[in-house]
Structure 1
């Protein structure tokens, strides 16, 4: 069953499509249009009718029926397009100002086969001139955290270049992101259903194979500049662990903290707050934005070494790519969890 928000969006999109269809019918009632139809106007009409109206947080966007030059302004979203066999003209690296950018190992082969370009991505924002030069027929951006903020800030400029669809930050799981892109944007609901069904089957296998630690579980993300963040319950990574049977610590509800940015999936934790936020008996540690934060390094700091999870040996590392995983990375995460807890 669709969440209420998605059901509302879907209803709005269908209503818009119906209005457009009625307009098209009334416009073709003039018998004098028959010659134009016979000489090719019908082809143009059919093409226009095949375009889709997608309802987003920014409003309705008309997207081409079969886009061939798609620019993706979030590395974490690009994998969905490869899974849907949608050609990706260009995307950005996983993190801003990356001196050695690379494609995700989960879809690097597909990116190279597509000839996908890796564009520069600065913490100051997207390079609109570079995007314009690519002549895209569709721009996809948004998602969780900073990419959503940056794309929202320059949405008007992006939409002047090409139809621009921003994936809402209100989607809390990769399944919701995939469903939106597959169903609404690219008209591939059946493919999305197959991918999700395969994931659900694998998740059930892993859930049956692992022994889940007792008590609550929290998630700690560290950055290269020494900042610490707590992942919010109900969002991407914690939601996956909840599906696997882990009890997720309600860190946001307990602390009343706000996400570091609108639509964000985590909040910053000061050194003074670490002991009161990460009280769960199990904690997962993840590097954020390319950082190499790990349990061994944090354990050298008395602030972290004194946490219940560290003292009990229940602090575990997760790869950096798990923090905002797409379909491919969600499947990879299941392998990691199975290996750690079987």
Structure 2
């Protein structure tokens, strides 16, 4: 069964809707209504209005971080891209359950030079979903016209920088499944309240730093994404970006590069969260071997904590799992 937490939250809403439908129309009326239903819908995006099928059968998702939303909405994901560009193969998140297998989802080739348009065309999609935060959005913008020639293409704009905003856009605007989104938010808000009551907060404010495979450090912008989400459980982020003289990395807008020399002057917060980028590329124990980081106040106070790498740009399921992780750390 896909995404038991979301399905459980949706059950009551669904039962009420079904009851109302049973009372509202006879079988003959339902058949007549079905024939009159439109086959396309117009979606307003940052890149213009897009006419999409109301019941797509083959969707290509050009950002791994967006695929989970479509699985939650029970939309057919024919193909997506791996988490990392130039990866030789992809791996589906365990949090998605059996959904990728049920959909027969395959991974498309993806490199730092862009998407493989021929591979996308070969999948014969009737809808393409792309955008989100980071490099996939930049690449999709570069070939938006070419993608639109293959199939109607909807890009999730970079201003939608939390899972709530991304999920809301996809569920309500693109797929007309507002009830599913409402159920997801209700379940999440309930879990936030539980975690907030269950934990003892570390000393704040806190900072977040992610490391790529080559050891490059990227500090998270406090007003975007994960740091903003975790305010709800009481983790107040330090104004590292707001008080500094940094430039956001790439087109994502959610992090900035931090040299080792800058780390000692910038990461002075009493609590630090460490994570990898697109993989388990760093943890607190390994980072403590670096003398510059070991001298930071958070390390000196034994207040450095690991977060799963997928928390960085998490979807709905990953946001829930991050709450579980926070509860384990501080409960």
TM-score by length of 1: 0.85
What value does the CA root-mean-square deviation take over the aligned residues? 1.5
Q: Give, in angstroms, the shift of residue 120 of structure 1.
A: 1.8
Q: Give, in angstroms, the shift of residue 301 of structure 1.
A: 0.8
Between 1:194-203 and 1:89-98, the stretch displaced more is 89-98
1:150 partnered with 2:150:
no
8 Å contact from structure 2 (residues 274, 306) kept in 1: yes
Q: Give, in angstroms, the shift of residue 86 of structure 1.
A: 0.6
Match of 2:45 among 43, 50, 56: 56
Q: Give, in angstroms, the shift of residue 95 of structure 1.
A: 1.2
1:95 partnered with 2:84:
yes
8 Å contact from structure 2 (residues 205, 270) kept in 1: yes
1:177 partnered with 2:186:
no
Unaligned runs of 5+ in 1: 1-41
Aligned to 1:243: 232
Provide the rounded CA distance (Å) in 2 between the counterparts of 1:43 and 1:339. 49
User: What is the count of residue pairs matched by the alignment?
Assistant: 299
1:265 partnered with 2:231:
no
1:229 partnered with 2:218:
yes
1:140 partnered with 2:123:
no
Q: Which runs of 4+ in 1 moved over 3 A?
A: none
1:78 partnered with 2:67:
yes
Greater relative contact order, per chain length (Cα 8 Å cut-off, separation 6+): 2
Secondary structure of the structure 1 residue equivalent to 2:273: strand
Secondary structure of the structure 1 residue equivalent to 2:256: strand
Aligned to 1:316: 305
The 5 A counterparts of 1:4-23 are none
Per-residue deviation, residues 64-99 of structure 1 (Å, max 9, x unmatched): 111110000111100000101111111111111223
1:275 partnered with 2:264:
yes
Provide the rounded CA distance (Å) in 1 between the counterparts of 2:267 and 2:161. 22
Aligned to 1:20: none
Provide the rounded CA distance (Å) in 1 between the counterparts of 2:220 and 2:231. 13
Aligned to 1:188: 177
Q: Give, in angstroms, the shift of residue 50 of structure 1.
A: 4.4
Secondary structure of the structure 2 residue equivalent to 1:89: strand
Per-residue deviation, residues 217-246 of structure 1 (Å, max 9, x unmatched): 000000111210000112111012111111
Unaligned runs of 5+ in 2: 1-32
Secondary structure of the structure 2 residue equivalent to 1:171: coil
Provide the rounded CA distance (Å) in 2 between the counterparts of 1:298 and 1:94. 23
1:285–1:209 Cα change, 3 Å = same
Provide the rounded CA distance (Å) in 2 between the counterparts of 1:274 and 1:109. 41
Q: Give, in angstroms, the shift of residue 178 of structure 1.
A: 0.3
Q: Give, in angstroms, the shift of residue 291 of structure 1.
A: 4.4
Secondary structure of the structure 2 residue equivalent to 1:53: strand
Aligned to 2:191: 202
Provide the rounded CA distance (Å) in 1 between the counterparts of 2:209 and 2:272. 7
1:110 partnered with 2:92:
no
Question: Considering only CA atoms, is the larger Rg found in Structure 1 or Structure 2?
Answer: 1
Provide the rounded CA distance (Å) in 2 between the counterparts of 1:329 and 1:60. 30
8 Å contact from structure 1 (residues 170, 263) kept in 2: no
